Amino acid sequence: MFFRNLTLFRFPASLRDALADLQPALAEHVLKPVGPLEMFSRGFVSPFGRDHEALSHRVDDAVWIVLGGEDKILPSAVVNEMAAKKAEEIEEREGRPLGGRARKRLKEDTLHELLPRAFSKPSRTGLHLDLNSGIAAVDTSSRKTAEGVLSELRTALGSFPAVPVNAEVAPRSVLSGWLAGEPLPKGLSLGDECELKDPVDRGAVVKAQRQELTAEEIGNHLEAGKQCSRLALVLDDHVSFVLGDDLVVRKLKFLEGAVDSLEQRDGGDIAAELDARYALMVGELRRLFATLEKAFKLSKV
């Protein structure tokens, strides 16, 4: 259940008490099967799986929520092809071309005809709420998906004034400085991946993977004026990740130094195993948030 990406938001610390028990609110917005004439369905599911009723899980003032989804798989090409065939049949039968409105209505009718037969694709997106720091982290690198998760929570609660994290210093400048040799915050070290961009519109983009980032060629790109837009980092040999200038954490991975304690546990109880993993993640993410907050001067709400 470890998160693989983090799109970060801030919410007021005053919401701490309101978020302490989310079960009643979430229970009114559980995931329901997508209807025969619906394209998608959204709702909350248990972090522990289908056989559990709990719709949230709390560890040390941190709350884990999961938004479930079902999306109909119905490619537009399929709808267009079937609608085109029907249009040809009608035109041949009636001996006249169909107008734009008639074609649009025919396409809509075709869509409704195919929807009940379309397969549904399930999805699960985790949400981590740190009640102490007022940080919400959605397990996705897509801002649109993250906003969608918070929108569903906002609907369930009636209100949830969360905003994307905002840095008071330019993230690209900070990342470029670290890549150029400036001291990193305590505990952070460079990884083996970066992305460099020319600041001019539609300028060159250089991506390096499995690369020694202190190599001369990387320095040459920086001297030529390129700026770092993504940088792989490691925190205390416990977590590795790629941080973007959009402050989205990608490719988050919990390393052996963090998960050694889990390997010593008896893995017979799935719920206990997930609980232990979330507790471990809470501790590591709090250290990561604190490091990023100080380095980028993240503003509060």
pLDDT above 70 for 225: yes
Residue 237 is part of which domain span? 171-296
Query: Could you tell me if 288 and 197 lie in one domain?
Result: yes
Query: Could you tell me if 179 and 290 lie in one domain?
Result: yes
Task: Examine residue 51 and state whether it is found in any structural domain, yes or no.
Answer: no
pLDDT above 70 for 31: yes
Q: How far apart are CA 52 and CA 270, in angstroms?
A: 11
Q: How far is CA 32 from CA 45, 67, 170, 268, 296, in A?
A: 10, 12, 43, 30, 41
pLDDT above 90 for 29: yes
Task: Examine residue 57 and state whether it is found in any structural domain, yes or no.
Answer: no
pLDDT above 60 for 251: yes
Task: Examine residue 143 and state whether it is found in any structural domain, yes or no.
Answer: no
Q: How far apart are CA 134 and CA 127, in angstroms?
A: 13
Query: Could you tell me if 110 and 199 lie in one domain?
Result: no
Query: Could you tell me if 195 and 260 lie in one domain?
Result: yes
Supply the mean pLDDT for the chain: 92
pLDDT above 80 for 263: no
Q: What is the DSSP letter of 298?
A: B
* pLDDT digits 0-9 by tens, 186-220: 999 999 999 999 988 788 999 999 999 989 999 99
pLDDT above 60 for 265: no
Task: Examine residue 227 and state whether it is found in any structural domain, yes or no.
Answer: yes
* pLDDT digits 0-9 by tens, 80-99: 999 999 998 988 888 888 88
Query: Could you tell me if 176 and 291 lie in one domain?
Result: yes
Q: How many domains does the chain have?
A: 2
Query: Could you tell me if 109 and 176 lie in one domain?
Result: no
* Confidence (pLDDT) at 268: 60
| Polymer length in residues for the chain | 301
Task: Examine residue 46 and state whether it is found in any structural domain, yes or no.
Answer: no
